[in-house]
């Protein structure tokens, strides 16, 4: 590592510990030339994901795009930024396990599932765009499905 202070490439590791819930290693380093300390993070290089759109076109996976859609659905809802980050992390991890190429439909279904568990209003917001609702009937149908699942879940819990 090059020292950010003097540019020397001779340092020693003073401390190493897990970071980001084990997804990275935080290393505290000391430059042997100037004596100053700095921190580095070591992470696994992620395999690039490709998204296959409905049209058949392919584009690189964009985490920011996924997060923006989820944030829009959760706007003014009682979910913290940390909660949103964890949700995006879980969805992304599930997508990466599927392989180097995922469909936009698979992404949409993962988001719908996560939002259904987190916030029903956000779920309906996202579903209205994702499923291209055209009228009140579409909302009624989806709400009926959502309430039906909620009721059956409550009955099982008893």
Q: What is the pLDDT of residues 48-106, one digit of tens each?
A: 899 999 999 999 999 999 999 999 999 999 999 999 999 999 999 999 999 899 999 99
**Which pLDDT does position 27 carry in this prediction?**
97
What is the pLDDT, as a whole number, of residue 157? Answer: 46
Contact at 8 Å (CB) between 24 and 41? Answer: yes
Taking the C-alpha atoms of residue 11 and residue 97, their distance in angstroms, rounded to an integer, is: 37
- Prediction pTM value: 0.66
Question: Average pLDDT, whole number, for the chain?
Answer: 91
Residue 125 has pLDDT above 60, yes or no: yes
Residue 106 tokens, joined: 């698979």
């Amino acid at each position: 590592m090059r020292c950010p202070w003097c540019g020397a490439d001779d340092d020693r590791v003073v401390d190493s510990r897990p970071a980001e819930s084990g997804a990275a290693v935080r290393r505290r380093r000391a430059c042997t030339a100037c004596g100053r300390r700095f921190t580095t993070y070591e992470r696994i290089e992620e395999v690039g994901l490709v998204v296959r759109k409905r049209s058949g076109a392919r584009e690189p996976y964009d985490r920011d795009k996924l997060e923006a859609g989820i944030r829009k659905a959760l706007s003014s809802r009682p979910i913290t930024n940390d909660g949103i980050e964890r949700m995006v992390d879980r969805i992304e991890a599930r997508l990466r396990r599927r392989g180097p190429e995922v469909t936009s439909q698979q992404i949409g279904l993962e988001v719908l599932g996560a939002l259904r568990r987190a916030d029903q209003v956000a779920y309906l917001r996202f579903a209205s765009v994702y499923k291209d609702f055209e009228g009140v009937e579409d909302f009624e149908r989806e709400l009926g499905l959502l309430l039906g699942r909620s009721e059956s879940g409550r009955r099982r819990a008893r």
